[in-house]
Amino acid sequence: MLAVAVGMGGFTSPDRFDRTMVTVSRLADGGIQPQAAVDGLGGVHVIFFRGEPAHGDLFYIGSTDSGRSFSSAIRVNSTPGAAIAAGTVRGGQIAVGRTGRVHVAWNGSRSVGPASTPMFYTQLNNDRTAFEPERNVMHGAYNIDGGGAVAADRNGHVYVAWHANAPGEREEGKRRVWVARSVDEGRTFEPERAAFDEPTGACGCCGLGAFADRRGVMYVLFRSAFDVMNRDMYLLTSRDLGVHFSGRRIDRWDIGACVMSTQAFAQGASGMFTAWETGL
């Protein structure tokens, strides 16, 4: 089921929640892994997965009444079976940009992509009736594993981020975060570039998060994989529209395992917030 908050002020105390502020809607026909985004006018946009985990489909539903009712589902991927839901970290990701345009990115299915799993991107068309044919924005990197992310700002910049190896490398400790940037609202993308030069590696089966705030600052949160045991969280920040990133470690976790963690971002009146799993 999908729970959507439809108003502010639902929290009356840290241990009490006003249930009248929440609408619960069941995803159609067994949909799983919902992701939601809210636009500047209060519209709610949701994508979800349906089908076989290794080759299923993404669907989109929208609401103009703060989640009380939703539109009929529209398939996101134009090629049937182009999406995957292998593990909770590899599903579709959604962002809303300028004029409320919906952008979606996801790890593609090997059944429709090249030998290396593609990183697909698409957007809702101008009439909001269908999604454009998906495009693979990963060209130089390869060996993608954990889930990617998409971010969009108010000025038409769109970013697709993921972690993968450079050509000729395979070790987890040499994985890097890559960002493909669009300056024309997703119509075209520049070739992906490595976002961070420090040799942190990236946890292979972990997801990463991406977000562009109201000022156009772009953030990426990912889990490292340095010397196997160092599964630390790193926050990357770009203040020049994704051209350069600075990075810093914000949490430590020493564990010799791939923890399949996820990340989330949100912006509120008091600033930016992010969250991630840590510990067992």
- For residue range 181-201, list pLDDT tens digits in order: 999 999 999 999 999 999 999
C-alpha closest to that of 20 among 34, 6, 30: 6
Q: Which residue has the higher pLDDT, 265 or 28?
A: 265
| Rounded Cα–Cα distance for residues 118 and 114 (Å) | 7
| Rounded Cα–Cα distance for residues 166 and 132 (Å) | 29
Type of residue numbered 58: L
| Rounded Cα–Cα distance for residues 69 and 19 (Å) | 17
* Structure tokens belonging to residue 242: 């994704």
- For residue range 27-50, list pLDDT tens digits in order: 777 899 999 999 988 899 999 999
pLDDT for 8: 34
pLDDT for 10: 37
C-alpha closest to that of 90 among 102, 103, 79, 106: 106
Q: What is the 3-state secondary structure (H, E, C) of the chain?
A: CEEEECCCCCEEECCEECHHHEEEECCHHHCEEEEEEECCCCCEEEEEEEEECCEEEEEEEEECCCCCCCCCCEECCCCCCCECCCCCCCCCEEEECHHHCEEEEEEECCCCCCCCCCEEEEEECCCCCCECCCEECCCCCECCCCCCEEEECCCCCEEEEEEEECCCCCCHHHCEEEEEEECCCCCCCCCCEECCCCCCCCCCCCCCEEEECCCCCEEEEEECCECCCECCEEEEEECCCCCCCEEEEEECCECCCCCCCCEEEEEECCEEEEEECCCC
Please, which pLDDT band fits residue 279 given cuts at 50, 70 and 90?
confident
Q: Is 12 a residue whose pLDDT tops 60?
A: no
pLDDT for 218: 98
- For residue range 95-147, list pLDDT tens digits in order: 999 989 999 999 999 877 555 689 999 999 999 999 999 999 999 999 999 99
pLDDT for 156: 96
Q: Is 6 a residue whose pLDDT tops 70?
A: no
Indicate the average pLDDT of the chain: 89
Q: What angle do CA 274, 122, 62 make, to 5 degrees?
A: 70
Which residues, 6+ apart, have CB-to-CB distance to 274 below 8 Å? 209, 211, 219, 221, 235, 263, 264, 265, 266
Please, which pLDDT band fits residue 256 given cuts at 50, 70 and 90?
confident
Provide mean pLDDT across the span 220-230. 93
| Rounded Cα–Cα distance for residues 138 and 121 (Å) | 10
| Rounded Cα–Cα distance for residues 189 and 192 (Å) | 8
| Rounded Cα–Cα distance for residues 179 and 150 (Å) | 9
pLDDT for 166: 94
**Whole-prediction pTM:** 0.91
Rounded percentage of the chain residues whose pLDDT exceeds 70: 90
